[in-house]
Amino acid sequence: MTDIKKILYQYWNYTSFRPMQEDIIHAVLDQKDTLALLPTGGGKSICFQVPALAQEGVCIVVSPLIALMKDQVFQLERRGIQAKAIYSGMSQKEIDITLDNAIYGNVKFLYVSPERLKTDIFLARATKMNICLLAIDEAHCISQWGYDFRPPYLEITHFRRMIPEIPCIALTATATEEVREDIQDKLNFGSDSAFFQKSFARDNLSYSVYYEENKEKRMLDILSKVRGSAIVYVRSRKRTKQYADYLSSRNINASYYHAGLSNEERAKRQDDWIHNRKRVIVATNAFGMGIDKPDVRLVIHLDLPDNLEAYYQEAGRAGRDEKKAYAVVLYNKNDLLQLKDNIDISHPSAEAIRKVYQALSNYLKIAVGSGYMESYDFDLEDFVKTFQLGYLETYHALKKLEEQNFIQFNESFYSPSRLRILFNHEKLYEFQVANKNADKLIKMLLRVYGGELLNNFININEKKLAELMKMNTFIIQKNLATLNDAGVVAYEPRKETPQLLFLTERFLANQLPVNKKLLEDRKQSYAKKVEAVINYVEDKETCNTAILLKYFGEFTRKECGICGNCIAKKRKNKSVDSTLPDLLINTLKKDLLTPEELVDKLGRNRKDEILNTVKILLDNNEVYYTETGRLKPA
C-alpha cells in the first residue's frame, strides 16, 4: 500500500491534507464504510481518490451528472491518472471497450450514473472487475428525505449486495441528521462504519437577507459595492437572460447560463466566467456543481430556493479562497407565497394520483390485470391535452407513480428534442423569402415557441408541430434536419422515443395501492424544508450563520459578527444615545428595577434603545441581575 502523503504530493503537488481528509482516507483504507460530510469546496474528491490510488484495483464512482463525470475524468487524466466515464450517448462499442479496460486495462476510476448499475452488461462485467472501492458522490440523492432525491440512486443498494466485502464511501456537502441516517441505511453500511462531519460554519462568508420589492436596483447596488466575480441565481431560464441583459446595459460585464443552452455554449460561458472574461454569471441551479473557482466574492439569490440544503450549497460557492465573501438573498412577499403554493402543487393527493393513473391506463389502452413490464410510447403533452389535465399537476402525479414503483420512464422522457435558430431576425427573413418551402415551418416554430428560439435552445415537440401543420411527424423531423444541415437551426432530436414502462399489472384506479403515509411523510418533509427557508429569511434577530448551523444539527451560542443580522445589531447598538448608559446606572443606584420598570420610568418611547443599552451593560458586567430579577450596578 503506497504512502498517502506521497500520493497527494505526486498527483496534486500538496504537502499536507486539509482538516479531516487524512482521517477519512485512513477509515476507507481500514475497509470501513464511510460517510463524509464536507462543505462545498471542502475537497471531497481527494477523500476517495487518494485511498483508491493507494490500493490495487478499480474504484467505481457513482455520480448524478454527465458534466460532473466528464470534469472529474478530465481533472484526473491531466494528472496522469487513468479514468473513464460511461454515460448516455455513448455507442455500445464505446461502452464495451470502456468496461473491458476497467477489467483488463489500467483504468483506475470508472465513473457511472446510478442507472448504469442495473444494466445487464455492466452487472456482467462488474463481476470480473477487481473493485477496491465504491464511491458515491452527492450521496444525499439516495435519501427520500433529502432535497434532491433521485430514485435511480436506490439501484446502488442492489449493486452493493453484489460486492458486500468492498468498502463504500459516501460523500455530500449537505445533509440533515435524518438524511445522514437514511444514507447509511440505504447503502447497507456495516456496524463499524465511520462518520465524519466538518463544521458548516464559514468564518469568511457573510450571509445577508433583505426584503426588497425592487430587486434589480438592489442587485445593482450590491454589485457596485462588492467588487469581484459574482453569481446571481434565479429559478427561471428566461430571467437568466433578462437579468444578464439588464446588468450589461448598466456596464456590468455579465453572461447567463441554464440547462437549455447547448453543451458548447454552456462550456464557453462557464469558461468565460471562470477566467474572469465575464464578471457576473446569472444562472439557474444547473450552474455550479463541480466548478472550482476560489475567488467568487458574491452570490446573490433573486429567487428563493425551496430548501436550505440547496441554498447553503449555492451560497457556499463564494469565498472558497477563504477571503471575505458575501451571500445575499433578496425576497418579497410574492416569493414566500410561491414557496407555500408549491407544497401542494409538487405533492398531489392519492386521489389526484389515482385520477392520473386511470387516465394513463385509458390513454395507453391497458386492460386491468395486464401491462406488467410492458413498455409504451408516451407523449406527455398529448396525454395532458387529450384528458384536459393540468400540466404541472400531471407531471408531479406521474413522478409520484414512478417513486412508488408503479411506472418507470426511460431517459428520453426527460430529454426531449431541442432546437435553436442560429440566424438573426434579418438573416432569417432573407432565408424565408428565398426558401418558400421552409417559410411555413419557420413561422410555425416562431408562433408556437416564440422569439426565445433566437437566443436559446428550446424543448420542442415534433408531433405537436405536425398536428398544427397537418403533416406527418416524420416529414417535420426530416425538414428540421434539413434546416440543421443548412445551418439555419441547431436541431437536437430525441435519441429515442419517450417511453413508459409499467412495473406492475394494471390495477383498478380505486384499488391502486398508493402508499398514503409515504406521500404524506414526503409532503410534510418538504413543507418543513420550505418552513425553514421562510424562517431563515424572516428572522431579523438571530445570527444568519447560527440559523443555518442549527438546521444542520450544529448548535452554537456564538454569533458570527459578520452576517446581515449581526451587523444590523451592531449598528443599532452604536446608535444608542451616548449618555444613556450613565443615566441607567445612576437611576439603578437610586432604585433597583426590572428592565420593564426601567422602561416605564425613563419613557416607553425609548424602549428598544433602553433594552439594547441594558444588554450592553450586562455584557460588559457593568450591571447584573439580583435574585429577584432586578438590575443592580456592579
**Residue 171 sits in the same domain as residue 84:** yes
The answer to the question of residue 375 being in a domain is yes
**Residue 282 sits in the same domain as residue 172:** no
pLDDT band with cut points at 50, 70 and 90 for residue 41: low
d(CA 411, CA 88): 9
**Residue 314 sits in the same domain as residue 170:** no
pLDDT band with cut points at 50, 70 and 90 for residue 28: very high
The answer to the question of residue 566 being in a domain is no
pLDDT of residue 169: 97
CATH of the domain at 407: 1.10.10.10
**Residue 292 sits in the same domain as residue 390:** no
The answer to the question of residue 96 being in a domain is yes
pLDDT of residue 551: 92
Name the percent of the chain lying above pLDDT 90: 64
**Residue 69 sits in the same domain as residue 175:** yes
**Residue 286 sits in the same domain as residue 435:** no
Say if residues 308 and 529 touch (Cβ distance below 8 Å).
Answer: yes
β-pair type (109-112, 58-62) = parallel
Per the structure block, which three cell numbers stand in for 579? 449618555
What pLDDT, in 10s, does the model give residues 537-592?
999 999 999 999 999 888 877 899 999 999 888 877 665 567 888 899 999 999 99
DSSP state of 513: -
The CA–CA distances, whole Å, from 354 to 117, 360, 414, 627 equal 31, 10, 22, 64
**Residue 28 sits in the same domain as residue 149:** yes
Residue 87: other Cβ atoms inside 10 A: 17
Amino acid at 64: P
pLDDT of 500 > 80? The answer is yes
pLDDT of residue 290: 65
pTM listed for this prediction: 0.75
d(CA 511, CA 231): 49
CATH of the domain at 213: 3.40.50.300
Number of domains the chain contains: 5
CATH of the domain at 593: 1.10.10
d(CA 453, CA 255): 18
d(CA 479, CA 43): 49
pLDDT of residue 455: 78
pLDDT mean over 419-429 = 92
Per the structure block, which three cell numbers stand in for 237? 431560464
pLDDT of residue 43: 84
Q: SS3 of 88, please?
A: coil
pLDDT of residue 489: 93
The answer to the question of residue 531 being in a domain is no
pLDDT of residue 348: 96
From the list 401, 529, 534, the residue with the least C-alpha distance to 145 is: 529
Window from 157-161, 430-434, 585-589, 611-615 with minimum mean pLDDT:
611-615
pLDDT band with cut points at 50, 70 and 90 for residue 187: very high
Q: SS3 of 221, please?
A: helix
In order, the DSSP letters of 540-565 are: SSS-HHHHHHHHTT-------SSSHH
The CA–CA distances, whole Å, from 591 to 342, 405, 470, 584, 587 equal 56, 72, 92, 11, 6
**Residue 345 sits in the same domain as residue 327:** no
The answer to the question of residue 568 being in a domain is no
pLDDT of residue 367: 96
The answer to the question of residue 529 being in a domain is no
**Residue 352 sits in the same domain as residue 404:** yes
Distance of CA 263 to the CA centre of its chain: 19
d(CA 447, CA 465): 10
**Residue 119 sits in the same domain as residue 219:** no
d(CA 378, CA 356): 14
Per the structure block, which three cell numbers stand in for 99? 468496461
Strands (E), 123-183: 131-136, 168-172
pLDDT of residue 427: 93
pLDDT band with cut points at 50, 70 and 90 for residue 622: confident
The answer to the question of residue 243 being in a domain is yes
Q: Phi-psi bin for 536: left (phi > 0), alpha (psi -120 to 50), beta?
A: alpha
The answer to the question of residue 570 being in a domain is no
What pLDDT, in 10s, does the model give residues 143-164?
988 778 888 888 899 999 999 9
pLDDT band with cut points at 50, 70 and 90 for residue 255: very high
pLDDT of 387 > 90? The answer is yes
Per the structure block, which three cell numbers stand in for 225? 459595492
**Residue 280 sits in the same domain as residue 367:** no
When the pLDDT of each residue in the chain is averaged and rounded to a whole number, the result is 90
pLDDT band with cut points at 50, 70 and 90 for residue 208: very high
What pLDDT, in 10s, does the model give residues 332-362?
999 999 999 999 999 999 999 999 999 999 9
**Residue 35 sits in the same domain as residue 143:** yes
Which of 161, 177, 197 delimits the end of a domain?
A: 197
The CA–CA distances, whole Å, from 300 to 123, 243, 256, 284 equal 44, 12, 14, 12
For 252, phi then psi, to 5°, come to -110, 120
| Domain containing residue 457 | 418-492
Higher pLDDT, 42 or 209: 209
Say if residues 54 and 7 touch (Cβ distance below 8 Å).
Answer: yes
Per the structure block, which three cell numbers stand in for 34? 464511510
